[in-house]
Amino acid sequence: MLSKKIENALNHQIKLEADSSQFYLAMASWAEHNGLNGAASFLYRHSDEERMHMLKLVHYVNERGGKAIIPSIQQPPTSFQSLSHIFESLLKHEINVTKEINKVVGACLEDKDYTTHHFMQWYVAEQIEEEALARTIMDKLKLIGNDKGGLYLFDRDIQTLANAPVPSPKTA
Ligand code: OFO
């Protein structure tokens, strides 16, 4: 059974994952609209993954005797300056998500809730990967700068990352 404190912390995390999904969906749509189809596929997929992160938390809260709260949809930005700005915001956003996940983990330790602490380790590991991926992409975009040919190749290459199989919410 979850304590109220942990239930609230997990519901806060559910909202963050939902907001992340919406944010990346807005980025994906902007990229698609601007002919950057590889980046769009990558971002659509990333948005789906965030929804899975949210669902995984929803199931966990309900299965542990708490009540998962489905948050309202927040309006994300409708336009972005460039692909570099998009990935810069994505990295910043993920760094913030990592901080919030660490807060949940800290609350679990304070509460001696070792079951939720164990459950949250999946998110801790996921954040290491997500931040590393966003940093790699940012490094590539910095190298490309304003080179249109480079951007064309980048957009083609990022499609490969988008095509890898999506893990299911339960096993993700
Ligand atoms: Fe991008 O991360 Fe969810 O947790």
Cβ(27)–Cβ(80) under 8 Å? yes
DSSP 165: P
Per-residue pLDDT tens over the stretch 57-110? 999 999 999 999 999 998 999 999 999 999 999 999 999 999 999 999 999 999
Tokens coding 128: 């290491």
Residue 142 CB coordination number (10 Å)? 11
pLDDT band with cut points at 50, 70 and 90 for residue 164? low
Could you tell which of 51, 126, 135 is best to mutate to test the pocket of ligand 1, judged by most ligand atoms within 8 Å of the CB? 126
Mean pLDDT of 27-36: 97
Per-residue pLDDT tens over the stretch 46-65? 999 999 999 999 999 999 99
Per-residue pLDDT, 165: 61
SS3 1: coil
Helices (H), 3-36: 4-33
CA–centroid distance, 148 to ligand 1, in Å, is 31
Do you know the residue count of the chain?
A: 172
**CB of 126 closer than 6 angstroms to any ligand 1 atom:** yes
Tokens coding 53: 């992160």
CA–centroid distance, 124 to ligand 1, in Å, is 9
Cα–Cα nearest to 57, from 24, 94, 96, 19: 19
pTM: 0.92
Give the C-alpha separation, 130 to 140, whole Å: 16
**CB of 18 closer than 6 angstroms to any ligand 1 atom:** no
Per-residue pLDDT tens over the stretch 109-128? 999 999 999 999 999 999 99
Q: Mean pLDDT for the chain?
A: 93
Give the C-alpha separation, 136 to 13, whole Å: 26
Whether the pLDDT of residue 5 is over 70: the answer is yes
pLDDT band with cut points at 50, 70 and 90 for residue 163? confident
Tokens coding 111: 């509460």
What percentage of residues in the chain have a pLDDT greater than 70?
95
Which domains, and CATH codes, for the chain? 4-162 (1.20.1260.10)
DSSP readout, 51-111? HHHHHHHHHHHHHTT----PPPPP---S--S-HHHHHHHHHHHHHHHHHHHHHHHHHHHHT
Least confident of 19-28, 91-100, 149-158, 160-169: 160-169
Per-residue pLDDT, 162: 72
Estimate the crossing angle of helix 148-163 against helix 114-144, to 10 degrees. Answer: 150
